Structure formats: C-alpha cells, structure tokens
Amino acid sequence: MEAFLTGIDSLMQPAVLLAILIGSVGGLIIGAIPGIGPAIAIAILLPATVFLDDLVSLVLLLGVYGSSMYGGAIPAILINTPGTPVNALTTYDGYAMTRRGEAARALSLAYSASFFGGCFSIIIALIALFVFGPYLRDLGALFGQRDILMAAVLGGVLLIAAHRQTMGIAALLFAFGFLISMIGRQSTRQIDRYTFDIQYLYSGFNLIVVIVGIFALSQALNLMVGKDDDPPEARITGGLLSGFREIVGSKVITISSACYGTIMGIIPGVGEFVAQFFSYSTARSLSKEPARFGHGSHEGLIASETSNNAVPAAAMIPLLALGVPGEALTAMMMVVFFDAGIKPGPDIFENNPDFLFSLFTALLLINILVLATLLFSTRLIAKMVYIPNRFLGAFIMILSFVGVYSIRNSLTDCIFAIIFGFIGFVLRRLDWPLVPIVLGLVLGSIIVERLTAGAGQIKSAVDLINRPVSGTLFMVILLVIGFIIWTSFKNRRTEYQS
C-alpha cells in the first residue's frame, strides 16, 4: 500500500504532470494526423528522452502511446483514413456513420469506448499488481535465464503466427532482424559475427537507428513520394456525450472487447491487430444485428475502439514482469526503462513496486486527460487531419535526423538510418509487415543473451526444458507451431483461388 502512495507521490511533481499533459495532447494530435503514428513519434522522441528525467521521459512516451489511439479514431471516422494503423477497423463503421450525418455520435462512441477500454485494462493491471504482486516476488525464483529465453522464443513464434496470411514473410523478416542484432564483436568472449572487420560494425546496429529508419524515415519517404489526399471537410454537429449512454446499453460487447484487448495485450507478440480482429468477430456473433457490422453499426465501432485501447496497459505487463516486450512500441520503451534505472524482469516487484504504481496511475491520468481534452477540442483537432501528406513527410525526415545523431554522435548512424528507411519504404510499398524486423532485433538480442548466460547450467539438451516454466513454455511453442502447420495445410488448396 505504501508503495502505491510513494508511486502517486513521485507522480505529483510539476515536471511529471507537465510531461503527462504534453504527452497526452501531443499523442492525441499525432494520432489524429494520418501518416504519423505512435511508432514514428516514439521513435523520434526516444533519443530526446535521454536528456530528460527518468519518470518524465517515460510518462511522455506513455502519453503518446496511450493517447494516440484516441486521436487515430478521428480521421478514421471523418475521412475514412485510419490515423494510426490500429484504427483500421474503426473506418468501417465510423465512416459509414459519418456518411449518414452521424459524425458526432460516432466520435463520441469512439471516445467513450476507448476510455472504457483503456481504464478497464489499467484497473485490471492495478488489481493484479495489488493482489499478485507479493506472490510474484516469490515467483521470481522460477524465472531463470532459460525461462526468459523460452518466453522470448514464444513471443517470436506468436508474432509469426499472428501474421496469418504472411507467415513466411514475417518469418523471413524476423530472422533478418535477428541476424542484424547479432552483428558485432565482443572481444572478451571471442565473439565476432559478420563484422567483416569494419570498425563501424564492431558495436553492431543500434536499436534506435533501425527503429527510426524502418518506421519514421520509411513513412517520410512514402508520404513524400505519394500524393496529397484532399478529403472533403466533414462537419461535426451535435454534442459528444451521447456515447456514454450507448456504451451502457451495449455492456456485453464492450466488456468482452475490453477483455480481448487486455488478454491479447498480455500475450507477447500478439498486439492490437489481432485483438481488434477477434473482438470485432466476437461482437458480431454476439450482436443482435450482425448484418449492420461494417455499415455503421455502433456495436462494431465500440468493439474495435475498446479493444485497441485496452492493449497498451496490458502490453506493459509482459515487459515489466518478464523483461520480454510484447510488441514493437513497448520494445522501444524498454530503452527508456533502462535509462530510468529500472530493470524490467521478475525483480521489479521487489525492487521498484512504487514505480509500477506510478506507471499505471500515470496511464489512468492520461486517459482521463485525453477524454477531457477531446470533449472540448475535437473540432480543433479534427482540423489537424487535413495537413498535407507530403509536407508532413518532409517534416518527419527533418525530425528524424536530430534523433538519430544524438544517440552516438555518428554521421554513419544517420546514413544507416536512411538506408533502413529505404528498406522500410520498399517493404511498405509491397505491403510486407514491418514489425517483425524490429521485434526480431529486440527479441533476438534477448534470446542470444539469455542463451549465453544460461548456457552455464546446460549440461545436456534436456536442461533447456526441464524447469517448470521453460518446459511449459516449450510445450506452448510446440503447440503453436503445430497449429501453424495444421492451418497452412488446411488452407493450401485455397491459396490461389481468389
């Protein structure tokens, strides 16, 4: 309990509160502008956070992460363009409602659904912390190097499995990211992988360089090379509070979607897309008017918005508890954790319990702040939606330089960042997923490190899996791989038929 109060206490400083404010409003605007997503914003802000205080920088990034999905619903509803990739399903029902003239109703539904989803997962996480926290400290002894190794491998396998139709490509890109993470030289351990004796490659590729390149610079190139959309201006008339009443009317769907979001967030490697997809399908089967889904059904809108906002808070859990990030954005925030002096992993419940409480309480504050902001300034923010794409692309490119340079003061880093940017650009044009590369980089380094640290106790191959946790995780990995093989055989015949 005192940890809770200490946590709240450290939150109540002016710098932290200012960061929450800037993070939420900034994240909202960033989400509202199609073309910039939280990934790009976090990638660009990451290097800057080194210069700020620990909790301040963390809260800033969290603000961007947690509030961008609120903002992303605005263009999804108004101009049929998702503000962040995660709001894609919102366009179906949201835009249909706008066409019917019900833009305000759609927006207020989206906000209240998002608010509910966000708060739901935060409260679940806080309760879990209160209830299970003390026990988790003892569980720490169960989690050795080999167990976390298995968790990271499971995360990778689940990531690949989640890309149902592009598994081969996801696997290929994941392995590519993995290989890139291994390039480097460690003289004390006689390790020298693929450095070709090039000085620059001795320390390997820095995670932030790759992230800024693959997410931010590739999008900048994509926008600059494309066309400006010129969407018609949508009018928002009417109040924005009606959504709450409608949420209460559809309790079952709201709660089930929030549960999906929370659970999918906790499972590493899965993320918002799958959460949305499952909750949308379940909502449709639970609904009394399934035919309206995709054509302006308020239940569809609730389902997609609730689940995608429930993911951020839940995604922090595997990161904090195991040190294994569940998806790309949390992987990026791991860097900030290290700079803040927090080591994610089973020890965190023992060493920094107040930090956990600050984190989730900050997230709660962010949600509340964003909702309040939205209720007053939607029309203003909606205008942000109309910033021309190509200008935006140029702006992102300029922003990225300063971020990359400040990591290691290396111009070569900047050049590699733009090379990765070009690679990301090519992948975007082909519709190949970008996330596997980043997760390959992050999980790859975790896997290699845990393997070498745990190798001391491995006398024979079975020692890898004869611990309770690693054994269970290994079984799950086998099950998932079996599932992948089974479904791909099932679908083989229908591969080229559409």
Q: Does 263 bind another protein (CB under 8 A)?
A: no
> Among 101, 239, 341, 482, which residue interacts with another protein (rule: CB under 8 A)?
341
Q: Does 494 bind another protein (CB under 8 A)?
A: no
Q: Does 376 bind another protein (CB under 8 A)?
A: no
CA distance linking residue 76 with residue 82, whole number of Å? 4
Residue 238: CB minimum distance to another protein, A: 23
At 191, phi and psi to the nearest 5?
Answer: -110, 130
Picking from 283, 277, 276, 304, the residue whose alpha carbon sits closest to that of residue 113 is 304
> Among 6, 10, 242, 452, which residue interacts with another protein (rule: CB under 8 A)?
452
Q: Does 402 bind another protein (CB under 8 A)?
A: yes
Q: Does 229 bind another protein (CB under 8 A)?
A: no
Q: Does 198 bind another protein (CB under 8 A)?
A: no
Q: Does 195 bind another protein (CB under 8 A)?
A: yes
Q: Does 81 bind another protein (CB under 8 A)?
A: no
CA distance linking residue 414 with residue 213, whole number of Å? 9
The residues facing 186 across adjacent strands are 191
HSE, CB side, 13 Å, CA atoms: give it for residue 167. 17
Residue 245: CB minimum distance to another protein, A: 26
Residue 127: CB minimum distance to another protein, A: 25
Which range in 5-13, 109-117, 243-251, 342-350 contacts another protein by CB under 8 A?
A: 342-350
Q: Does 339 bind another protein (CB under 8 A)?
A: yes
Q: Does 491 bind another protein (CB under 8 A)?
A: no
Which range in 106-114, 121-129, 216-224, 257-265 contacts another protein by CB under 8 A?
A: 216-224
Residue 387: CB minimum distance to another protein, A: 6
Tokens of 391: 């200008």
Which range in 254-262, 309-317, 381-389, 479-487 contacts another protein by CB under 8 A?
A: 381-389
Pick 452 or 472: Cβ nearer another protein: 452
> Among 5, 12, 18, 479, which residue interacts with another protein (rule: CB under 8 A)?
18
CA distance linking residue 156 with residue 174, whole number of Å? 8
Pick 185 or 244: Cβ nearer another protein: 185
Q: Does 484 bind another protein (CB under 8 A)?
A: no
Residue 111: CB minimum distance to another protein, A: 20
| Number of chain positions touching another protein (CB under 8 A) | 129
